[in-house]
Amino acid sequence: MPEFISGLKLSELFYREAVSPILERNFPGLAHSAALIGYGSDVLGYDTEISRDHMWGPRLMLFLPIEDFDNTSQVVDETLRCELPKRFHGYSTHFSKPNPLDNGVRVSEDIESGPVEHLIEIETIPSYWQKTGMIDPLRELTVTEWLTIPQQQLLEWTEGMVFHDDLGLKAIRQLFAYYPRDVWLYLLASQWAQIAEIEAFVGRTWQLGDLLGSQLVATQIVEKFIHLCFLMERQYAPYAKWRGTAFKELRCYPEMQPLLAGILSTLDYLQREPWLVQSYTLVAELHNALKITPPIDVHTRTYSGWHVYNTEQRELVQDEPKNTRPHQVIFAERFVDAIRAEIHDPEVLSLRPNLGSVSQFLRESCPAVQSTAFCHGLEDDLRAGN
């Protein structure tokens, strides 16, 4: 096996040293864009030697003009099949036919003669966005369209690298760089609302003697914190396989990671609660640093003290009869209300409160969130009153 080189670097070299010369020689002046975007750990820059076992190697996306695309793409494809080298930097440029039993996966194969079955996808820019997201990239997205595109899909459109750009691919990608401000605020509020729903359950399940239940809820809290951190830093979160890796790249990671690890490290709530308190305080401080709402008190209080939160009394005393749930929480609903007060877009305000996007209310591994058609079919359901 050749020495490992990152897929992005390999694809860039493949375009510049192999594909581009063929295009210049056979189709001088042909307007096109070339890139590595879309699926794959190599697009995100997370590929390793293990990634080479499927859908990896000298590959790229080649975008051609819409005009006469069918004829041009057919001729370009046939020329590439005939003129590409059989190997490039030690890696085969020939790939197997799609495996119908494995989601169409293709693997590299060595050949000595004959045309190369390459892994160069030839598309127009509009057709690629229509195929992968069922949207027209040349018009402004509606609010509900933003919410029905999984974050992994948005990453696939905006990560990777553009090697050549006659057709404005970079400008199209920039349109999806991140959510519009009020959509972003809606997602932030929705994420805080998810924390508000379960923050008291970590202690309550332990109080009932349900150690496993407490651990499960704590794990959910950690996951919701991580999603919140991505949102606060205005970064799309990849799907579960790469989320922890991408989390390491966030600015808050050095402070946040030890706290989250502490939450997960014990079944004993009494040992877990200090880690929870520090985590709540940190995410609250990160929120205040955004300056999107007036400053919010970052201190936790016992859940039994919810009815005195806005009074001068800090806590109920330990033996107070009303202090039946003495578990420290941040009262996340305060952040929900403060953020929602800053939303002004009527279309965003017409949404179901705190529902969020498909990446927040659907399980990412289920067929639903992996179906573009299903996700788009939820647009009407996101509006309040439907």
Question: Helices marked H in the chain — which ranges?
Answer: 7-14, 20-26, 41-44, 69-83, 125-133, 143-147, 151-158, 169-175, 181-198, 201-207, 211-232, 240-247, 253-264, 269-290, 333-340, 346-349, 358-361, 372-376
Residue 211 CA to residue 243 CA, distance in Å, equals: 26
**Do 63 and 35 touch, CB atoms closer than 8 A?**
yes
Cα separations (Å) of 214 from 210, 268, 329, 346, 360? 6, 9, 14, 39, 22
Look up tokens 């951190």; give the residue.
Answer: 229
**What residues does 256 pair with on adjacent strands?**
none
Residue 315's pLDDT is 59
> 286: number of CA atoms within 13 Å, CB side?
23
Q: How many CB atoms within 10 Å of residue 192? A: 27
* DSSP, residue by residue, 370-386: T-HHHHHTTTGGGBTT-
Residue 368's pLDDT is 80
| Structure-token pair, residue 162 | 């553009």
* DSSP, residue by residue, 26-47: HSTT---EEEE-SSSHHHHT--
Task: Please state the φ and ψ torsions of residue 70, each to the nearest 5 degrees.
Answer: -60, -45
Furthest-apart CA atoms within the chain: distance in Å: 85
Each residue's pLDDT, cut to its tens digit, for the chain (386 residues) gives 789 999 999 999 999 999 999 999 999 999 999 999 999 999 999 999 999 999 999 999 999 999 999 999 999 999 999 999 999 999 999 999 999 999 899 999 999 998 999 999 999 999 999 999 999 999 999 999 999 999 999 999 999 999 999 999 999 999 999 999 999 999 999 999 999 999 999 999 998 999 999 999 999 999 999 999 999 999 999 999 999 999 999 999 999 999 999 999 988 999 999 999 999 999 999 999 999 999 999 999 888 755 455 545 555 555 555 556 678 899 999 999 999 999 999 999 999 999 999 999 887 767 787 788 888 888 888 887 66
Q: How many residues does the chain have?
A: 386
Residue 141's pLDDT is 95
**Do 106 and 97 touch, CB atoms closer than 8 A?**
yes
Residue 202's pLDDT is 94
**Do 48 and 4 touch, CB atoms closer than 8 A?**
yes
